[in-house]
Amino acid sequence: MTSTRQMIITLCIVALTCAIILSFVYAFTSPRIAETQKNLMLDGLQEVSQAVEFVEIISDTLWRALDSLKKSTGIVFRVFPQGYGGSIPITVGLDRDGRITGVRIASAAEGLKETPGLGAKITEPDFTQQFIGKCAPEVQLKNDGGEIDAITAATISSRAVTAGIRRGIETYAQYLGEGYDKRDVFPAAESFREIIRDTLWYALGESDTIGIVFFGVAQGYLDCIKFVAGVDNEGTITGVEIVYSSETEGIGEAIRDQEFLNTFKEGTAEAITGATVSSKALIDAVQKNLQRFKEYLK
């Protein structure tokens, strides 16, 4: 008969040894695990977007896609609509205009529970390729008035995917706007600090504020135009980007033209012929806001 003390001691020794071994193993593998995880996630995100860098906005759900110049190219989000067998994990990439750049549906090994050979066909490129270049209203099954061909005999799964993507776009489109990284209009800044919620930020340099970034609205020809603009301490505009505009296609939309926007930096912004109302409104609004927030400049 072993004494209780002996039992406790043996158990403790074994447990301790195990713990020590495990801690070594953990120390050895954890960086690698983190890296693998990151790569995996990146691979998944890169499949649906051309961007090279992704900044997480909502944990595991929403990322802002940045190109090599750290300029925003759109967003990537994940949705989990209820399919036939369970939730369907979908990753969707959107470009700045809200058009789909790619759709990736997790395979069975990654947790898709749709019927193999039937619902599971939604993962195949034949189906997912259809979405590329579509915008929210088009993302519907043809039966429902959209432009997506359903998988034969798997309407439930197909519809779940389209509905999920559409809902996702509607939910996250707002981030497309905000998706204008404030760096776009103030490339020199290291970081930003919010002063007025959703409206005004300090652009922070290495040690000090070096300017402001503000959000503004202009009344366009058809609808309001939302924009952000950056101003440095000298009052020079560092950049203007359109966040939202639904001006007349081909005409009013000219305000999105980068050349036009660049003229703000030079202070030579002028109304564009053919899009006078829109461009004028934008120029006025930028000036008005600049006056308004001037006091925040050093």
Partner 1 sequence: MNELFVVSASPHVRGKMNIDLAMRLVIIALVPALSYSVFLFGIRVLIITAISIGASVACEALMQKMLGKKITVTDGSAVLTGLLLAFNLPPAVPLWLPAIGSAFAIIFAKQLFGGLGYNFINPALAGRAFLMASWPLFMTKAWLAPANGTLSGIDGITSATPLSLLKNAANYGDPSIIVRQLNDFDTIKNIFFGNIGGCIGETSALLLLIGGLFLIIIRVVDYRIVVGYLVSVAVLVFVLPTKGTLMFHLFSGGLFLGAFFMATDWVTSPVTHKGRWIFGAGCGILTIIIRIWGGYPEGVSYSILLMNVFTPLIDSLTKERVFGELSKKKGVKK
Partner 2 sequence: MSKWRIFTRGLVRDNAVLVLMIGLCPALATSGTVRDGFGMGLAATFVLLFSNLIISLLRKNIPNEVRIPIFILVISTFVTIIDYFMQAFQPDLYRALGVFVPLIVVNCMILGRAEAFASKNSVFDAILDGLGVGLGFTLALTIMGTVREILGNGTFLGIPVFGESFKKSPVIFMVLSPGAFLIIGILKALINKYVRKEIR
- Site residues for partner 1 per CB under 8 A: 84-85, 115, 117-118, 141, 143-144, 150, 152-153, 155-156
Sequence-distant (≥ 6) Cβ neighbours of residue 211 within 8 angstroms: 186, 188, 189, 202, 203, 230, 231, 232, 233, 238, 297
Q: Which is nearer to partner 2, 40 or 132 (CB)?
A: 40
Q: How far is the CB of 110 from partner 2 (least distance, A)?
A: 6
Q: Which is nearer to partner 1, 150 or 210 (CB)?
A: 150
Q: How far is the CB of 116 from partner 2 (least distance, A)?
A: 5
Tokens linked to 89: 């994990």
* Nearest-angstrom CA–CA distance, 48 and 120: 19
Residue 69 contact among partner 2, partner 1, none, beta carbon within 5 to 8 Å by kind? none
In DSSP terms, 214 is beta-bridged to 200, 229
Residue 16 contact among partner 2, partner 1, none, beta carbon within 5 to 8 Å by kind? none
Q: Which residues of 124-154 are buried (b: 16+ CB within 10 A; e: fewer)?
A: eeebbebbeebebebbbbeeeebebebbeeb
Tokens linked to 207: 């040690």
Considering only residues 36-55, where is the footprint of partner 2 by CB under 8 A?
36-37, 40
Q: 100, 69 in Cβ contact below 8 A? A: no
Q: Residues touching partner 2: how many (CB under 8 A)?
A: 23
Among the candidate windows 32-40, 58-66, 131-139, 278-286, which touches partner 2 by CB under 8 A?
Answer: 32-40
* Nearest-angstrom CA–CA distance, 35 and 51: 19
For position 32 contacting partner 2 by CB under 8 A, the verdict is yes
Q: Which is nearer to partner 1, 125 or 145 (CB)?
A: 145
Residue 196 contact among partner 2, partner 1, none, beta carbon within 5 to 8 Å by kind? none
Q: How far is the CB of 109 from partner 1 (least distance, A)?
A: 19
CA-nearest of 91, 131, 130 to 107 is 91
* Nearest-angstrom CA–CA distance, 17 and 11: 10
Sequence-distant (≥ 6) Cβ neighbours of residue 145 within 8 angstroms: none
Q: Which is nearer to partner 2, 14 or 69 (CB)?
A: 14
Considering only residues 71-130, where is the footprint of partner 2 by CB under 8 A?
109-110, 116-117
* Nearest-angstrom CA–CA distance, 157 and 144: 14
CA-nearest of 168, 185, 171, 267 to 226 is 185
Q: Which is nearer to partner 2, 10 or 82 (CB)?
A: 10
In DSSP terms, 148 is beta-bridged to 141
Residue 40 contact among partner 2, partner 1, none, beta carbon within 5 to 8 Å by kind? partner 2
Q: How far is the CB of 82 from partner 1 (least distance, A)?
A: 12
For position 153 contacting partner 2 by CB under 8 A, the verdict is no
* Nearest-angstrom CA–CA distance, 269 and 289: 15
Q: How far is the CB of 138 from partner 1 (least distance, A)?
A: 18
Q: Which of 26, 56, 171, 194 binds partner 2 (CB under 8 A)?
A: 26
List interacting residues with partner 2 (CB under 8 A).
Answer: 2, 6-7, 10-11, 14-15, 18, 21-22, 25-26, 29-30, 32-33, 36-37, 40, 109-110, 116-117
